[in-house]
Amino acid sequence: MKVVALAGGTGAARFLRGLVAHLPPAQLTVIGNTGDDAEFWGLHVSPDLDTVCYTLAGIIEERRGWGLRDETFHALEQIGRLGEPTWFSLGDRDLATHVVRTELLRAGATLTEVTATIVRALGVGSRLYPMSDDRVRTRVRTPDGWLGFQEFFAREKAQPAVVEVAYEGAGRARPAPGVAEAIDGAAAVVVCCSNPVTSIGPILAIPGIVEALVSTAAPVVAVSPIIGGAPVSGPAGKLMTARGLPVSALGIAEGYAPWLDVLVIDTRDATLAPELARRGVRAVVAETLMTDAAAEASLARAVLAAAGVA
Amino acid sequence: MKVVALAGGTGAARFLRGLVAHLPPAQLTVIGNTGDDAEFWGLHVSPDLDTVCYTLAGIIEERRGWGLRDETFHALEQIGRLGEPTWFSLGDRDLATHVVRTELLRAGATLTEVTATIVRALGVGSRLYPMSDDRVRTRVRTPDGWLGFQEFFAREKAQPAVVEVAYEGAGRARPAPGVAEAIDGAAAVVVCCSNPVTSIGPILAIPGIVEALVSTAAPVVAVSPIIGGAPVSGPAGKLMTARGLPVSALGIAEGYAPWLDVLVIDTRDATLAPELARRGVRAVVAETLMTDAAAEASLARAVLAAAGVA
């Protein structure tokens, strides 16, 4: 009954927490986006992996949806005093993760190995794989030029118009060890309610992943992050537009067309079900807004049912 | 009226604070020991440079004599949770220094340049040079084998017996840019009341430094860190013994024999003055215990007077 989930950050992490309300954690394998990884002050930061890990470890700062609970920011203040840019907000405990990750990577460990070490140390019972051990960086072209994803998202607060999105390095990257095998051997594959362009897109851009999604015998179920004509949160709308996708559950289905079996859409989008069916995607209607733990678990149950594993 | 000081950590830093109570800070150039530098979790830590810098910046934790005031240790706790050793205690704000130092070094800056950046950012008006931009590591041989200095000092709390002390890399190291020139052009050179073996010893082990001390026209004045038969603090006693030096002001004079002009000794050691004179060292008696800011300033004034620059 192994469930494999493709995941971005905050929204995905909440949904995954809902999943492990139904599944033994060991039956869940998460494939996390590393396209928005970045280096700050020489430290390797993996925001999406950490958000998933911290959420499943029960130590996430809930209100923000990233970083650690009861966090302090003393190192960051001092880094600013020393003249370095501090637009990427990292707390003191969070910094420990990046210091240790960077140390282990520099000593020759792969990101897969480092992530497993952190996950285990924080008591998370599920597997968390980075999509790749190779460097992939999502870049966003604005009218003023290219930005790294975190420059666009964290520094510029996703304000600039988006002309183009690229996944630098993805074409030469290989799926991390275990990723293609996990998809292949899954009872169900879930694509979390993450931004399809900058959270799921980088994962799909790695040669071998789409092939695995096409060939797996498991049902592939996605959860739409769009309700009506707008994303639940974040800049997914303008990024989908830049990719030529309509900002709606139909756009999600279009982006995932080659391999999507089931799309879980919000109750407010129920009328799209016939159109989705015409495109070969079975729609399952659920309440997709995760306002609390009960809503997370309820959505997760609907997704497992849609995949035929609950 | 330029004063150049050779310095280790806490004791030196307090004395230097006393000096800048009398001198414009810009007239003071400090040459700091880097033999006890070490890497923790991939970060380059320069304990003596930082202690001098934090003390002159007025942000040192006074009671401990190292690290920053009002410090928190949240990153360290989390680093421990992630399975890394945490016997070297680094606070959150302090960690910022090491993160930025490591980043700049990895980007190709020299330790001299990085130190100047930190010193300037923290508002210190004096110059602080590392003794060398090359890697020098003090190692201590115990009956159970060799230890890095911080392993001996911080991890083992200086408890093991000491058989031998070595300055790894010193023979191939060059003085940092400006160091020999500063000694050469000084009005007075002061050797701070630091451990002669592991604080001043590594500086002296770099080819060119002793030559500069011998050839400078400036008086060279040392402050004895030994009162009676014991060091004011720390393991200087057993380290001096391992070097074959008697643990007394006479041992200090012996260690600094080739170039020492004046030794400032404690009032309790006044009877050693004739013996020091026989060895060609002029003794100046002063109260060397720096119990408060007034005592620091008073000792500094005595040293400047002994050097003929006050």
What does the DSSP assignment read for A181-219?
A: HHHHH-SEEEE-SS-IIIIIHHHHTSTTHHHHHHH-SS-
pLDDT at residue B301 tops 90: yes
Residue range A188-216, pLDDT digits in tens: 999 999 999 999 999 999 999 999 999 99
Strands of B47-200, DSSP E: 127-130, 137-142, 145-148, 164-168, 188-191
The answer for residues whose C-beta is within 8 angstroms of residue B167's C-beta and 6 or more apart is B35, B136, B137, B138, B139, B201, B202, B205
pLDDT value at residue B224: 97
Q: Give CA–CA dist B13/A69, Å, rounded.
A: 38
Q: How far is A70 from chain B (nearest CA, A)?
A: 10
Say which of A74, A96, A103 has its CB closest to residue B78. Answer: A96
Mean predicted confidence (pLDDT) in B260-283: 97
pLDDT value at residue B133: 98
Contact A81 B122 (CB under 8 A): yes
Model confidence at A233, in pLDDT bands (50, 70, 90)? Answer: confident
Contact B83 A117 (CB under 8 A): yes
pLDDT value at residue B146: 98
Delimit the domains of chain B by residue range: 3-136+170-306, 137-168
Of A43, A32, A23, the residue nearest A206 (C-alpha): A32
Contact A102 B72 (CB under 8 A): no
pLDDT value at residue A229: 87
Of A182, A260, A247, the residue nearest A220 (C-alpha): A260
Task: Compute the count of residue pairs across chains A and B with CB atoms less than 8 Å apart.
Answer: 108
Mean predicted confidence (pLDDT) in A24-45: 98
pLDDT at residue A277 tops 90: yes
Mean predicted confidence (pLDDT) in A48-60: 98
pLDDT at residue B310 tops 90: no
pLDDT at residue A49 tops 90: yes
Q: How far is A293 from chain B (nearest CA, A)?
A: 26
Mean predicted confidence (pLDDT) in B280-297: 96
pLDDT value at residue A234: 87
The answer for residues whose C-beta is within 8 angstroms of residue B176's C-beta and 6 or more apart is B31, B110, B111, B112, B129, B130, B131, B132, B133
Mean predicted confidence (pLDDT) in A9-21: 96
Residue range A137-150, pLDDT digits in tens: 999 999 999 999 99
Per the CB < 8 A criterion, the answer to whether B154 and B142 are in contact is: no
CA-to-CA separations, B74 to A133, B97, B176, in angstroms, rounded: 29, 16, 35
Mean predicted confidence (pLDDT) in B31-53: 98
For A285, other C-beta atoms within 10 Å of its C-beta total 18
The answer for residues whose C-beta is within 8 angstroms of residue B274's C-beta and 6 or more apart is none
pLDDT at residue B298 tops 90: yes
Amino acid at B310: A
Residue range B83-95, pLDDT digits in tens: 999 999 999 999 9
Say which of A71, A100, A122 has its CB closest to residue B41. Answer: A100
What is the distance of C-alpha B77 from the center of its chain?
Answer: 29
pLDDT value at residue A163: 96
CA-to-CA separations, A83 to A76, A150, A197, A307, in angstroms, rounded: 11, 20, 34, 52
pLDDT value at residue B19: 97
Contact A102 B42 (CB under 8 A): yes
pLDDT value at residue B229: 87
Q: How far is A121 from chain B (nearest CA, A)?
A: 5
Q: What's the mean pLDDT when you consider all of chain A?
A: 96
Say which of A42, A75, A103 has its CB closest to residue B92. Answer: A75
Strands of chain A, DSSP E: 3-7, 28-32, 38-40, 43-45, 127-130, 137-142, 145-148, 164-168, 188-191, 220-223, 226-227, 230-231, 262-266, 282-286
Mean predicted confidence (pLDDT) in A239-261: 96
pLDDT at residue B232 tops 90: no
What's the length of chain B? 310
Mean predicted confidence (pLDDT) in B254-276: 97
Start-to-end CA distance of chain B, whole Å, equals 10
Most B CBs within 10 Å: which of A100, A113, A120, as the mutation test of the B interface?
A100
* Residue recorded with tokens 């001096």: B240
Contact B96 A82 (CB under 8 A): yes
Q: Give CA–CA dist B37/A51, Å, rounded.
A: 34
Domain A3-136+170-306 listed as CATH 3.40.50.10680? yes
Contact A96 B76 (CB under 8 A): yes
Scanning every residue of chain B, which has its alpha carbon at the shortest distance from the alpha carbon of A39? B103
Mean predicted confidence (pLDDT) in B144-158: 96
| Percent share of chain A, pLDDT over 70 | 100
pLDDT value at residue A232: 86
What is the distance of C-alpha B250 from the center of its chain?
Answer: 20
pLDDT at residue A97 tops 90: yes
Residues facing A220 on adjacent strands: A189
Model confidence at B263, in pLDDT bands (50, 70, 90)? Answer: very high
pLDDT value at residue B234: 87
User: Residues of B near A (CB-CB distance < 8 A)?
Assistant: 41-43, 68, 71-72, 74-79, 81-84, 91-97, 99-100, 102-103, 106-107, 117-118, 121-122
The answer for residues whose C-beta is within 8 angstroms of residue A89's C-beta and 6 or more apart is A67, A73, A76, A154
pLDDT at residue B245 tops 90: yes
Strands of A242-303, DSSP E: 262-266, 282-286
Residues facing B32 on adjacent strands: B7, B130
